[in-house]
């Protein structure tokens, strides 16, 4: 075994996006590509001597090969210890949990989240800091800058390590501990939720389907829901992580989790349905013939947080990303706590959680979480709902309807135009920005514009700022249209249009969402000329 210094050259395009560096698998397989990025991470971190690193991923294609390379590079940089999930498996929330519990200096998550996997799919890498959350932009930018000037990297020439059995091994001076990927996480969940009440619920015949989407959350859901909570075997479906996710798109929304949605529409549907994404940080909550929007889910969990032992002391605040509906704001107001509006991406919640300003946070993109870790957490949200269902004895639909009756309903939808020409998307946003100053006071299909701007954010804790985080048009009636370009796509550009309308009248709470939003949808097209710019008459995905 020896540590080698390898000569390399900068490879363009290694700037991390909304959530780490995501590229096609083929890009990551190019000579030096992965090594350059990892060297840039370790260089940016500075002294790694004597420190502990957590390493794992969602099991997608290239996960195992990348883990061996990263272990060799970590050994060459003087890490004392690396905790690796058995089989290379660690969900994103589990990485965050393990970093915090074992006081590691950080962790590397190998995942492209909900993006398809397999040899032709996507791969990704994200560095998480000691608090357990994604590295802030100052760090990811420094990593990118180093990747632009890199000339060499350090790596051990040690042989592959067996990562399929729990136990310890050694590489150079570094100890490698292969850990059970579920244990630490399960122990944390047990402390937050009333497992006794949920066990009783299942013992009483309550039925559920959890769709693991052949991705990372299957083993966690099986161990916790079927194991610790006593749900019958078969409650978790698609529960084995596969390298290509069974050819599916592991994104838990009604479009991609069509199998679960169909099941929940049958006459003898289970009482409760849920799904999680590729790396286990997203969640979808489904009742009988009824799916709960992520924005509503955040608001409902906040309004009922007292059912869970971990949150009985009360909430300090709620945080949501700007495009997420304002349903949570109404709950915060009722609870007399602040509600923070941040740019898109979980990394912006970190400072608020660390400073104790927020307890719960969420995004419209099927992400919900709390200060228990520093990532969004799919299974956590599902367990929170189970705790709520156990505490109230009411079905999902009834809980949601009661919430709307109290706070009003925020009709909400996101229209995605995927893989459009990048230049066309850039022009659309540029044209929109030019129009912003004259929109206030105009009437768009009966909605009078209150103000229109390009969302900018100053972090109330560390004072850092972020510009151009999405164009928003806010109406006097409280409805909104938001436009932004995705920062996670790997093909062309993806335009996201977010639509929201508040309806106070319970008699109007059961309309089809797209119908309720029709006037805003038309307004969104007329302001941005989406069809003209993108050549698309309809969105690719509506959630």
Residue 26, token pair as written in the block: 């083929």
Q: Which of 211, 281, 329, 371 binds Zn ion (CB under 5 A)?
A: 281
DSSP 8-state symbol, 421: -
- CA 232, 238, 240 angle in degrees (round to 5)? 95
Instruction: Write out the catalytic residue numbers.
Output: 113
Tell me how far the alpha carbon of residue 112 is from its chain's centroid. Answer: 10
Report the residue number, 109 or 198, with the smaller CB distance to Zn ion: 109
Q: Which of 14, 52, 105, 113 binds Zn ion (CB under 5 A)?
A: 113
**Distance of closest approach, residue 414 Cβ to ligand G1P, in angstroms:** 8
Report the residue number, 87 or 367, with the smaller CB distance to ligand G1P: 367
**Distance of closest approach, residue 58 Cβ to Zn ion, in angstroms:** 8
Residue 363 binds which entry of ligand G1P, Zn ion, none, with Cβ cut-offs from 5 to 8 Å by kind? ligand G1P
Give the closest residue to 97 by CA, choosing from 223, 182, 214.
182
Which one of 8-16, 63-71, 222-230, 278-286 is the stretch in contact with Zn ion (CB under 5 A)?
278-286
Can you list the positions of beta strands (E) in 295-345?
318-321, 339-342
* Helical segments of 102-223, H only: 137-147, 183-192, 195-203, 217-221
Residue 19 binds which entry of Zn ion, ligand G1P, none, with Cβ cut-offs from 5 to 8 Å by kind? ligand G1P
260: exposed, middle or buried (Cβ count in 10 Å: 0-12, 13-18, 19+):
buried
Which residues contact ligand G1P (rule: CB under 6 A)? 18-19, 113, 321, 344-346, 363, 365, 367, 486-489, 496
**3-state DSSP helix/strand/coil percent for the chain, to nearest 5?**
35, 25, 40
**Distance of closest approach, residue 24 Cβ to Zn ion, in angstroms:** 18
Residue 279 binds which entry of Zn ion, ligand G1P, none, with Cβ cut-offs from 5 to 8 Å by kind? Zn ion
Report the residue number, 35 or 377, with the smaller CB distance to ligand G1P: 377
Report the residue number, 413 or 488, with the smaller CB distance to ligand G1P: 488
Which one of 192-200, 281-289, 471-479, 531-539 is the stretch in contact with Zn ion (CB under 5 A)?
281-289
Contact present, 99 and 199 (Cβ < 8 Å)? no
b/e sequence 85-119, b meaning 16+ C-beta within 10 Å: bbbbbbbbbbbbbbbbbeebbbbbbbbbbbbbbbe
**Distance of closest approach, residue 337 Cβ to Zn ion, in angstroms:** 27
Contact present, 272 and 386 (Cβ < 8 Å)? yes
DSSP 8-state symbol, 231: P
Residue 543 binds which entry of Zn ion, ligand G1P, none, with Cβ cut-offs from 5 to 8 Å by kind? none
**Distance of closest approach, residue 92 Cβ to Zn ion, in angstroms:** 6
Report the residue number, 79 or 349, with the smaller CB distance to ligand G1P: 349
Residue 58, SS3 per DSSP: coil
Report the residue number, 113 or 293, with the smaller CB distance to ligand G1P: 113
**Distance of closest approach, residue 492 Cβ to ligand G1P, in angstroms:** 13
Report the residue number, 251 or 500, with the smaller CB distance to Zn ion: 251
Which residue of this chain has its Cβ atom nearest to ligand G1P in the complex?
A: 486
Residue 341's alpha-carbon distances to 311, 378, 483, 486, in angstroms, are 21, 21, 16, 18
Q: Which of 277, 291, 329, 363 binds Zn ion (CB under 5 A)?
A: 277
* Ordered DSSP codes for 2-46: -EEEEE----S----BTTBEEEEHHHHHSTTHHHHHHHHHHHHH-
How many residues interact with Zn ion (rule CB under 5 A)?
5
Which one of 109-117, 145-153, 385-393, 429-437 is the stretch in contact with Zn ion (CB under 5 A)?
109-117
Q: Which of 184, 279, 329, 363 binds Zn ion (CB under 5 A)?
A: 279
Which one of 43-51, 105-113, 416-424, 451-459 is the stretch in contact with Zn ion (CB under 5 A)?
105-113
Please list, in sequence order, all residues whose beta carbon lies within 8 angstroms of the beta carbon of residue 398, skipping any fewer than 6 positions away: none
Report the residue number, 105 or 111, with the smaller CB distance to ligand G1P: 111
Binding of Zn ion by 459 (CB under 5 A): no
Q: In what order do the strands lie in the sheet with 318-321?
A: 339-342, 318-321, 360-363, 367-370
Residue 406, SS3 per DSSP: helix
User: Which residues of this chain interact with Zn ion, rule CB under 5 A?
Assistant: 113, 277, 279, 281-282
């Amino acid at each position: 075994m020896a540590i080698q210094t390898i000569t390399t050259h900068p490879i363009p395009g290694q700037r991390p996006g909304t959530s780490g560096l995501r590229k096609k698998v083929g890009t990551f397989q190019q000579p030096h590509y992965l090594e350059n990025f990892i060297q840039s991470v370790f260089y940016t971190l500075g002294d790694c001597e004597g420190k502990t690193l957590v390493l794992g991923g969602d099991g997608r294609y290239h996960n195992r090969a990348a883990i061996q390379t990263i272990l060799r590079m970590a050994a060459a940089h003087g890490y004392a210890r690396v905790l690796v999930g058995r089989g290379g498996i660690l969900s994103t929330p589990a990485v965050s949990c393990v970093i915090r519990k074992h006081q590691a200096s950080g962790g590397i998550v190998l995942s492209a989240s909900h993006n398809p996997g397999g040899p032709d799919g996507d791969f990704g890498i994200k560095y998480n800091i000691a608090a357990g959350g994604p590295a802030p932009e100052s760090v990811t930018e420094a990593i990118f800058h180093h990747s632009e000037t890199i000339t060499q990297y350090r790596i051990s020439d040690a042989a592959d390590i067996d990562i399929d059995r729990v136990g310890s091994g050694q590489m150079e001076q570094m100890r490698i501990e292969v850990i059970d990927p579920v244990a630490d996480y399960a122990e944390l969940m047990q402390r937050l939720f009333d497992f006794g009440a949920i066990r009783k619920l299942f013992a009483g015949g309550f039925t559920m389907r959890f769709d693991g989407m052949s991705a990372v959350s299957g083993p966690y859901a099986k161990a916790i829901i079927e194991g610790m909570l006593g749900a019958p075997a078969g409650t978790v479906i698609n529960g084995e992580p596969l390298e290509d996710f069974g050819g599916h798109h592991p994104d838990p929304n009604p479009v991609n989790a069509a199998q679960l949605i169909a099941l929940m529409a049958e006459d003898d549907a289970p009482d409760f349905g849920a799904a999680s994404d590729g790396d286990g940080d997203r969640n979808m909550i489904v009742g009988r013939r009824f799916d709960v929007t992520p924005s509503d889910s955040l608001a409902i969990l906040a309004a009922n947080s007292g059912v869970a032992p971990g949150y009985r002391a009360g909430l300090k605040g709620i945080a949501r990303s700007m495009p997420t509906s304002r349903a949570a704001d109404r709950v915060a107001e009722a609870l007399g706590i602040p509600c923070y509006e941040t740019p898109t991406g979980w990394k912006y919640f970190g400072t608020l959680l660390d400073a104790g300003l927020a307890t719960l946070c969420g995004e419209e993109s099927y992400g919900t979480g709390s200060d228990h870790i520093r990532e969004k957490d799919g299974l956590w949200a599902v367990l929170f709902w189970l705790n709520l269902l156990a505490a109230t004895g009411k079905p999902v639909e009834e809980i949601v309807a009661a919430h709307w009756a109290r706070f009003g309903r925020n009709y909400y939808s996101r229209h995605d135009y995927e893989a459009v020409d990048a230049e066309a998307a850039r022009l659309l946003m540029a044209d929109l920005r030019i129009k912003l100053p004259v929109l206030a006071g105009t009437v768009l299909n009966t909605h009078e514009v209150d103000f229109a701007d390009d969302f900018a954010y100053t972090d109330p804790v560390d004072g850092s700022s972020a510009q151009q985080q999405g164009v928003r048009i806010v109406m006097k009636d409280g409805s909104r249209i938001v436009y932004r370009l995705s920062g996670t796509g790997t093909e062309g550009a993806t335009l996201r249009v977010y639509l929201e309308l508040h309806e106070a009248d319970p008699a109007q709470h059961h309309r089809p969402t797209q119908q309720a939003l029709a006037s805003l949808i038309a307004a969104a097209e007329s302001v941005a000329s989406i069809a003209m710019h993108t050549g698309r008459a309809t969105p690719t995905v509506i959630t």
